[in-house]
Structure 1
Amino acid sequence: MVDDTNVRTGQCHCGAVRFEATLSDGFNLIRRCTCSYCRMRDAVVVMAGTGGIRILQGEDVLTRYRFNTGSVQHFFCSCCGIYTHHQRRSDNSQYALNVACLDGVSPFDFFEVPVTDGVNHPNDTGKPARRAGIPCFVPAG
């Protein structure tokens, strides 16, 4: 299981992109999302605040993807295709980091991961963020 250290290093699958991140609240803010993009990439993310991510290597191979409103950027390695992080739509100054890219962390380290209702995003509905559910990972054996 992961520890509570808020400063983490990470990388994409091939190692071309390396970064350092300062987590906003450790692993207390892990989540998944039901929006079309998050649903297809199935990533578990954790939050980093303004200035909370620093690219150490490979900024030149990071590719940006925007969809729907185009208001946020999703970053992935152009060599291996792994999604590393994205700007948060609800607060563009914050980032969500793919926990699978953090050194020594796996999405399977977390028993429960809350899922945010991204299909009905607060920026679209004007309503507060809503939890869609909480899937659990129970190891076999």
Structure 2
Amino acid sequence: MTLHKGSCHCGKVVIEVEADLDQVIECNCSICSRKGYLLSFAPRAAMKVIQGEDNLTTYLFNTHNVRHRFCATCGCAPFGEGKAPNGQEMAVINIRCLETIDLADVKPVPFNGRDR
């Protein structure tokens, strides 16, 4: 596991997540495709909001299974929160917001969220 640091665009929200990011999900649902998210999942306990918890707001849509968290100032969404099918609390990390990631080294795996 590697510790990754990231933030929203304006830097008011800062996160850290301990995760292996050798593979990420590229979902085609309406929100992910429009925003260009590349997602990685980690146990919620492996992610910490280091700064800006009070500047986060939440967007819910469709089944409301994922709480899309974004900065109220710049609108950037570094992560979401939800539950895995087994009930485990999960963090959904937008790896485009992580400072330590070279996207050329990441293999996106397509996921058909549009038809769910």
TM range (shorter): 0.7 to 0.9
Secondary structure, counterpart of 2:34 in structure 1: helix
Aligned to 1:126: none
Unaligned runs of 5+ in 2: none
Aligned to 1:115: 110
Any conservation in 2 of the 1:22–1:49 contact (CA below 8 Å)?
A: no
Any conservation in 1 of the 2:23–2:108 contact (CA below 8 Å)?
A: no
User: How many angstroms does 1:32 deviate by?
Assistant: 1.0
Q: Which of 20, 31, 46 is matched with 2:25 structurally?
A: 31
User: How many angstroms does 1:90 deviate by?
Assistant: 4.3
* TM-score for both structures, normalised by structure 1: 0.72
Q: Which has the higher strand share?
A: 2
Matches within 5 A, 1:37-48: 37-48=31-42
The alignment status of 1:104 with 2:100, answered yes or no, reads yes
User: How many angstroms does 1:74 deviate by?
Assistant: 0.3
User: How many angstroms does 1:107 deviate by?
Assistant: 3.2
Separation in structure 2 between the aligned mates of residue 93 and residue 8 of structure 1, nearest angstrom? 19
Secondary structure, counterpart of 2:89 in structure 1: coil
Q: 1:104 to 1:88 in 2, by over 3 A?
A: same
The alignment status of 1:83 with 2:86, answered yes or no, reads no
Output one character per residue of 1:36-91: Cα deviation in whole Å (capped at 9) or x when no partner: 11111111112211312111110011110000122320011111111111124644
Unaligned runs of 5+ in 1: 122-141
The structure that has the greater radius of gyration is 1
* Shift >6 Å, 4+ stretches: none
* Structure of higher RCO (CA pairs closer than 8 Å, 6+ residues apart): 2
Separation in structure 1 between the aligned mates of residue 10 and residue 96 of structure 2, nearest angstrom? 13
Letter in 2 for 1:86: G
Mean Cα deviation higher: 5-14 or 88-97: 88-97
Separation in structure 2 between the aligned mates of residue 82 and residue 34 of structure 1, nearest angstrom? 19
Matches within 5 A, 1:3-14: 5-14=1-10
Separation in structure 1 between the aligned mates of residue 92 and residue 64 of structure 2, nearest angstrom? 16
Aligned to 1:93: 89
* TM-score for both structures, normalised by structure 2: 0.85
Separation in structure 2 between the aligned mates of residue 59 and residue 50 of structure 1, nearest angstrom? 15
